[in-house]
Structure 1
Amino acid sequence: MRRTDRLFDLIGILRDGRLHKAADLARRLEVSERTVYRDMETLRGCGIPVEGERGVGYILTAPVTLPPLNLTLTELEALHLGMAVVSEAADPELQAAARSLAAKIDAVVPEDRTAPPSGWGFAVYPFADAQGGFTHMPTLRAAIRARQKLALSYWSLSDAETERTIRPLQMEYWGRVWTLTAWCELREDFRVFRVDRIQSADPLPALFTDEPGKTLDDYMARMTGASDKHRHQ
């Protein structure tokens, strides 16, 4: 089970308002107690009102008024796009409502990693910029499904344009921005690209197959290992 799916299940369990011990949650979710502890930290970081501690148990102290939504990537893309459109509307009341809605959704959609800086929000970038990123989404999704290499033209955060050949592995929604995780053949390593900074994404004739050290599982294992190492330093 993917960690994001497990977090949704965890919130569903806690919604009964009862005290749940980590050992019981671990057995129910078929994970270790240590994993439950990490998941609780993630939920708290996402603004979910969970209280408790190791050895005592955990309880949801307030109702989540917007229930956890098991949305597909395409549904989240449509939601993000819609809020971006409304945030550019002439009506100040609708603009404020879009920003308020975005904040509420951010708080109830758990993510595997810490949320990016608030400067990534669509409220900071004009809609035209956000729209440019969305135009690549169908191509990226299709390439991930087909396991097709892409020729990528990308503006780095330092505003340097680079040309890459990548193996697209996964897209993720961070509440404020979409990212693409890929194996970069130029760097011979994993890279995470912000979709809104992709200039072009062209499918190549070559398909790719799983190779040791280059798969999504390899990337996730590396991220988990790095996170564990950081926590023990």
Structure 2
Amino acid sequence: MNRKDRLYALMERLRDGQLHTAEAMAQDLGVSIRTIYRDMEVLAASGVPVEGARGYGYTARAAVTLPPLNLTEAELDALHIALAALAASQLDEHAHAARSLAAKIDAVLPEESGKPMAPFGFATDAFANAAKGFAHMPAIRAAIRARQKLRVSLAGRAHDIRPLLLDYWGRVWTCVCWDETTGAFHRFALERIESLSPLPGLFVDEPGKRLSDWQTSARGAQG
């Protein structure tokens, strides 16, 4: 497993809000505890809301509120995405304004227990390419609404999927789907998509392949 895939796997682990020890994560991923420590530092620097310390364990915080505005998680995500896209653009004036605005937002984000919040913006390292997936979002959203099957290429392999959910967490957009190629639920980061095309067939709800089934299995894994 390469570094980026390992970081995504760690993010998935932290999504449940539970405390996870470095020892357990290292054993599950087949790496050293020191590697997990370094990965946690990378995630925190990338804006993933990681809390914890060596010898104690790691978890993820809840969403934040921007005073005096009360923002929903979706609204905060939309603001972040817009700023990230502009900051990475070739429009110098807008890119500079986006970075400036992100810095101002950083200044008013609440702090917990005296710990500084992670920077509000895309990482410059591990998740710097997260904006690459933006181009595929309209097609995936439309397919979810229409129950349209898609063929996506991931790491050079084609997968025929039933897209079920677009999800945003830890600075990364992901898609939850039923993967007809592997016969299992799958979640992948949109930036991993090499190509995407609609398939002629639509899908209907089938027991074991629905979003509710994935949610039930995810809750069971967390419990």
Specify the TM-score bucket, using the shorter chain as the normaliser. Answer: 0.5 to 0.7
Letter in 2 for 1:140: I
Matched, 1:227 2:222: yes
CA distance in 2, matches of 1:219, 1:131: 26
Corresponding residue for residue 61 of structure 2:
45
Structure 2's unaligned 5+ residue stretches are 1-59, 112-117
Residue 25 of structure 1 is matched in structure 2 by none
Larger Rg computed on CA atoms:
1
Between the aligned partners of 1:132 and 1:183, the Cα distance in structure 2 is: 23
Distance in 1 (alpha carbons) for counterparts of 2:186 and 2:157: 13
Match of 2:174 in 1: 179
CA distance 1:174–1:104, shift in 2 (3 Å): farther
1:138 deviation in Å?
Answer: 0.8
Following superposition, the deviation at residue 193 of structure 1 comes to 0.9
Match of 2:185 in 1: 190
Which of the numbers 150, 164, 167 marks the counterpart of 1:169?
Answer: 164
User: Which residue number in structure 2 is paired with residue 216 of structure 1?
Assistant: 211
| 1:97-132 deviation digits (Å, cap 9, x = unpaired) | 354467689989xxxxxxxxx8xx733269994443
Indicate conservation of the 8 Å contact 2:130/2:171, yes or no: no
Q: Note the 1:98-109 alignment, pairs <5 A.
A: 98-100=101-103
Over aligned residue pairs, what C-alpha RMSD do you find? 3.9
Describe the SS at the equivalent of 2:208.
Answer: coil
Alignment correspondent of 1:152? 152
> Does the C-alpha gap of structure 1 residues 204 and 219 become closer, same or farther in structure 2, counting only changes over 3 Å?
same
More displaced, 139-148 or 195-204? 195-204
Residue 142 of structure 1 aligns with an amino acid whose one-letter code is A
Q: Which residue does the alignment assign to 2:194?
A: 199
**Number of aligned positions between the proteins:** 155
- For residues 218 and 107 of structure 2, what CA distance do their matches in structure 1 show? 27
Alpha carbons 1:167, 1:208 under 8 Å: kept? yes
Letter in 2 for 1:200: S
Task: Give me the whole-angstrom Cα distance separating, in 2, the residues matched to 1:142 and 1:104.
Answer: 37
**Unaligned segments of structure 1, at least 5 residues:** 1-43, 50-62, 109-117, 156-160, 229-233
Counterpart residue identity of residue 139, structure 1: A
Q: How far 1:68 moved relative to its partner?
A: 2.6
Q: Which runs of 4+ in 1 moved over 6 A?
A: 104-108
- Whole-angstrom distance in 1 between the partners of 2:165 and 2:146: 12
**Match for residue 68 of structure 1?**
71
TM-score (norm 1): 0.53
